Homo-oligomer: A and B are copies of this chain.
Amino acid sequence: MIQGHGDDAYRYGREIRANFSSNVYRHVDLGPLKEHLAAQLDAIGNYPEPEPYTLETAIARMEDVPTEAVCATAGATEAIYLIAHAFQGSNSKIIGPTFSEYADACRLFAHSAALVLNSEPRGGWYPASEHFSASETDTRAAGRAMVWLCNPNNPDGRVIAKSDLMAAIEKHPETVFVIDQSYGSFTQEALMTAREAAAHQNVIQLHSMTKRYAIPGLRLGYVVANPNIIKKIRQVRMPWSVNAMAIEAGLYLCGHPDTAPIDLPALLSEAKRLRSRLEAIPGIRVVPTDTHFMLCRLAEGRAKELKDWLAHEHGILIRDASNFEGLDEGCFRIAAQTTEQNDTLAEAIKAWQEAHR
């Protein structure tokens, strides 16, 4: 695996007061879930189901698809590795810049993988486009063709228009589309539903309960796809990969989907406000986003230095995004937090820019 994911507060010796580095939206009430888990701690003393069928059944009911169309995983990350394994040796295109794990997993499982930068540069520096082009999914080399994409995309928050995506899927029935919807609960743009994913023969959809419910410590995600594909994925998974506490949490959340509610319009509105504040700082650019996190770039200087300074001087954590393939050393990613925290961040970045121009 590569180094340099977000949420790396453990690297700094001081307290982090505001954490913008992870896309997990933490300002939700996990009280009821924690109370439930505290009462279920006896579960640590028993093996979980080797394959978490009971949880998969509950997820299937929630998503209105057959149980055979669901594979529960230890976070969306395990799903990415299982898919890369199940389809090893494929000819993969990864629509980027994006989450590095697709490329890492492809490399580990002998895919011929290429990063395809979503075209149409914006403002002369950022290669991702607002428009997804079906031609980017063409694969000409030998072997099974796969396309990997994240929707909304990490790190820029862009959503590919549903009609464009559906058109590409229909136009290339032999190409398997891996669509990571980990951030699907954090956009108001139209996305493919689980039922639509399961109805196609060439779609693998990823979901993250980690992201939706702000429980990244537990590792819980799932794949929705046609049962033929799910069968293939289940064949390469190891037993007990989803631990008992994650299963208990998943069962609880399927039964109580309104746990940890998010006021999405308010969150997106606050994200928009933060973006405007940052854009107003000379030397800072922000890519338009369809969700609560956004990709920014320093016109001059390195994001790593800004990151270290924010952590040490302000107890603020951001995500250095320079290690996303296709991005440069000026790039960083932030996820909107509370109004007060967002203002603090904007002020701090402004002070940094004023001192470094």
Contacts and interface: CB of A to CB of B under 8 A. Distances in A.
A45 B240 contact: no
Interface in A17-42: 22, 24, 26, 30, 33-34, 37-38, 41-42
Interface residues of A, number: 57
A240 B24 CA distance: 15
Given A5-B50, A243-B243, A45 B215 contact: yes
A243 B246 contact: yes
A105 B238 contact: yes
A243 B77 CA distance: 12
A184 to B, nearest CB: 19
B240 A77 contact: yes
A47 B210 CA distance: 9
B101 A85 contact: no
Instruction: Report, nearest first, the 4 A-B pairs whose CB atoms are least far apart.
Output: A217-B244, A44-B217, A7-B47, A47-B216
Interface of A: 1, 3, 5-7, 9-10, 22, 24, 26, 30, 33-34, 37-38, 41-51, 54, 74-75, 77-78, 80-81, 85, 101, 104-105, 108, 214-219, 234-241, 243-246, 249
30 contacts: A1-B51, A1-B239, A3-B50, A5-B50, A5-B239, A10-B49, A22-B47, A24-B47, A34-B41, A34-B44, A44-B245, A44-B249, A45-B214, A45-B215, A46-B216, A46-B217, A47-B217, A48-B219, A77-B239, A77-B241, A78-B238, A81-B238, A101-B239, A105-B238, A216-B244, A219-B240, A219-B241, A219-B243, A243-B243, A243-B245
